[in-house]
Structure 1
Amino acid sequence: MNVLKIAFLSLLLSVVSCDKTVKIETASETETATIEAPAKFKYWNWITVGHKKSDSAYTAHFNKLKSNGIDAVLMNTGADPKLLKRLAPLANKAGLEVHAWMFTTNRPGDSIALQHPEWYMVSRSGKSCFDERPYVNYYQWLSPSHPEARKHILSLVEGLAKVEGVASVHLDYIRYPDIYLPIGLLPKYDLKQEEELPDFDFDYSDASVEKFMALHHKDPRKMENPAIDIEWKNFRLNEIKSLVNEAYDLVHKHNKKLSAAVFPYPEMADHMVRQRWDKWKIDMVLPMIYYNFYNEELDWIGYATKQGIDDLEGRPTELHTGLYTPKLSVPDLKSAIQLAKDNGAKGVAFFDDYSMSDEQFEVIKNSKE
């Protein structure tokens, strides 16, 4: 998923740690003042792991990340707590925080879910994600409105939360399928999306429609233009919100935090994927501010970061800016990190999945000095 706000004299900086009090002495008197030292700007890395690599190979990679300035790994084990239990201690030993990254409402190839076709989201055109998937084959979205699907998702969350050495459970794909793709991706699918198209507007499953009708006494399947019905849109926003809030309570029972990968800022996330993350009960959000996906310029990283910070005002949620490193040159990576810092982020998260160059690592390491 801030710029250091308190300046200390260089002498104090050499002796103050994040959780200490500082004694300030003057010639005439001694005063003891408790000063909150600035939180460290955190560097995260999203990685996918599996069973095939050896412990020594993972240890070498974790040590490489740590030596190049990374503080935390977002570890995708396919929601497998056994694999997480094996690898979390190795990352911890290397000095890294571990965050258990999982696919949430999008559950491609989930062997349990695939036994229940009724759990899946359905488009306005009547296509179920169980067998007709939008955009890509790995889009297999479970309905947060189906009680058993929701129960299954939360069981996966709890399984990860129980693992020792994990700092947070990290929710990814915690939303509906893209009603609007990022504009930079549309040519890949030969699409124009100037309105909400039936094939990409979800969730018209029985579970969702019945739950909505019980609340609002109208059927979205019979609406002439459901895109302008605010209750129908808000219902879906709230289905995601309530799922996140349940996950928050669950992981906190196990003394873990909840984090999530989200779309760049709340208004955009609302519009594109039914995701209003500034209203969630959550500890940390990592908005994926992949500016090139939206045909934006580099400084948009600062704009989107600042918009998210403003929308979170008064809430305890931390924001850490997500960066897509395969598209960032070395000079642009340096600027992107600074843009995140200057606009209030608590850290930056890099999506590289083992593709980061030595030159990019050097930028990350040097930016911490």
Structure 2
Amino acid sequence: MKLFKTIFFIVTALITGCTSPNKKEDTMSKEVENIHPTFKYWSWYGAGVEKTDEDHRIWFKKLAQNGIDAVLIDTQADAKRLEKVAPLALEEGLEVHAWMFTMNRPGDTVALKHPDWYMVSRSGKSCFDDRPYVDYYQWLSPSHPEARQHVWNLVESIAKIEGITSVHLDYIRYPDVYLPIGLLPKYNLVQNEELPDFDFDYSEAAVEKFKKLYGKDIRKAEVPAIDIEWKQFRLNEIKAVVDGAYDIAHKHGKELTAAVFPYPEMADHMVRQRWDKWKVDHVLPMIYNNFYNEGLDWVKFASQQGIEDLKGKNTKLHTGLYIPEMTADEVTTAIETVKESGASGVALFDIKEHHFEAIKASKK
């Protein structure tokens, strides 16, 4: 009997000794999850030249104290300015992403020296001096080799900055072929077809490159909108810019992220952007439901559609919300809707003071 008890205690001790490390590992794993939440909260931030270091510090502290994990900082792709602003966010424990305008480069002093770098509409208007919709729409052609290299040079300049997590591409597309339905009245437009003034890129660089690849001059096509090769050509031109940026970012140990239209099929239709085909680590689709006269059920649908289109890829989706007109309660409901969709996070644009408490509470 004594022998049996001795054996029993030895076996029990062995089992306990073997299981304790696993319990410890489980605890450590949960602690890591708390430090790096599986559902991430992002916010875009424009670091305008008129803002002081103290302005930045106050805002970054407020973001960090109210549940924001990552901040996307726009310094107009000015690497020197980003080098000064990024550490202020890092000091508050925020993850920093370098937000840059990509194909749309308003006021780019280098690009403006080269009128031939810009996209041209089917009606023959160049974005260099005749811009669609708004004055800050100055779109570079992804088909012009020097314009493309200029964009990659900007990507590299900010990818080198110590401490940032990613280069974040915005306006990585063509100008809007179709505006969101909720914005049409603002411009007094009806867009039931691809209108010549909003159908790009008929620049010399793009037309000649397409002709070399497919043996036809798209300017002579009776209905360019139904030429599938022409459409695919433009999708591929944007993809090439993205894929090149991905390689540059990763060369410097950074990720590539992008702000995109709601889901790939819709982005394809509206702005020649098929982001489920890109080399990119994270996408932040701007599912701004009020731009489309839609409710939060559409936010869930669009998020889930994007997630489905990304199946089998390593790209994570974080739903972008436009919230300035939302109440605190509406922000709470919107964030919960995004969580229900299965997205990896939520990105909030234009946070107001009355939103912070709701954002912080939603993390509990």
Q: TM (normalized to structure 1)?
A: 0.90
1:368 counterpart = 2:357 = no
* Aligned-residue offset at 1:329: 2.0
4+ long deviations beyond 2 Å: 25-40, 50-54
Deviation at 1:53, TM superposition (A): 2.7
Code of the aligned partner of 1:215: L
Q: Which of 348, 352, 359 is matched with 1:356 structurally?
A: 352
1:155-212 CA deviation, whole Å, 9 max, x = no partner? 0111110111110000000000000000000000110000000000000000001111
**SS of residue matched to 2:296:** coil
Distance 2:255 2:79 in 1: 16
Structure 1 counterpart of 2:19: 30
- Consecutive unaligned residues of structure 1, counting only runs of 5 or more, are 1-24
Q: Report the counterpart of residue 10 of structure 2 in structure 1.
A: none
Counterpart of 2:247 in structure 1: which amino acid? D
What residue identity is the alignment partner of 2:19?
A: T
Q: Which 5+ residue runs of structure 2 have no aligned equivalent?
A: 1-13
Amino acid at match of 1:76: D
> Contact conserved, 1:292 with 1:327, CA < 8 A, in 2?
no
The whole-number CA distance in structure 1 between the counterparts of 2:290 and 2:297 is 11
Match of 2:142 among 144, 152, 156: 144
1:155 aligns to what?
A: 153
Query: Greater Rg, structure 1 or structure 2?
Result: 2
Match for residue 267 of structure 1? Answer: 265
Query: 1:317 & 1:211 partners in 2: Cα distance?
Result: 30
SS of 2:192's partner is coil
Question: How much has 1:32 moved relative to structure 2?
Answer: 5.7
**C-alpha separation between the residues in 1 aligned to 2:297 and 2:42?**
21
Aligned to 1:83: 81
Letter in 2 for 1:46: W
Whole-angstrom distance in 2 between the partners of 1:60 and 1:334: 24
- 8 Å contact from structure 1 (residues 266, 308) kept in 2: yes
Distance 1:191 1:52 in 2: 35
User: Alignment partner for residue 335 of structure 1, among 311, 333, 336?
Assistant: 333
**CA positional deviation for 1:298:** 1.7
Taking structure 2 as the reference length, the TM-score comes to 0.91
In structure 1, what is the equivalent of residue 41 of structure 2?
A: 43
Once the two structures are TM-superposed, the CA of residue 335 in structure 1 deviates from its matched residue by 1.2
SS at match of 1:326: coil
Identity across aligned pairs (percent)? 65
Deviations 1:96-130 (A, max 9, x none): 01100000000011111010000000000100000
For the aligned residues, what is the CA RMSD?
A: 1.6
Residues 318-361 of structure 1: per-residue CA shift (max 9 Å, x gap): 10000001122222211111111111111101110xx5123x11
Please give the alpha-carbon distance, in whole angstroms, between the structure 2 residues aligned to 1:148 and 1:357: 43
Measure how far apart 1:94 and its partner are.
0.5
Higher relative contact order (CA 8 A, sep 6+): 1
* Cα displacement (A) at 1:26: 7.1
Do 1:262 and 1:287's aligned partners in 2 also have CA atoms closer than 8 Å? Answer: yes
Render the CA deviation track for 1:232-253: whole Å, top value 9, x for unaligned. 0000000000100000000100
Which amino acid letter does the alignment assign opposite residue 56 of structure 1? E
Q: Which residue is 1:290 aligned to?
A: 288
1:60 match: 58
SS in 2 for 1:307: helix
State how far apart, in whole Å, the 1-side matches of 2:39 and 2:329 are. 20
1:27 is displaced (CA, Å) by 6.7
**Corresponding residue for residue 122 of structure 2:** 124
Q: Shift in Å at residue 59 of structure 1? A: 1.2
Q: Is the 8 A contact 1:121 1:204 kept in 2?
A: yes
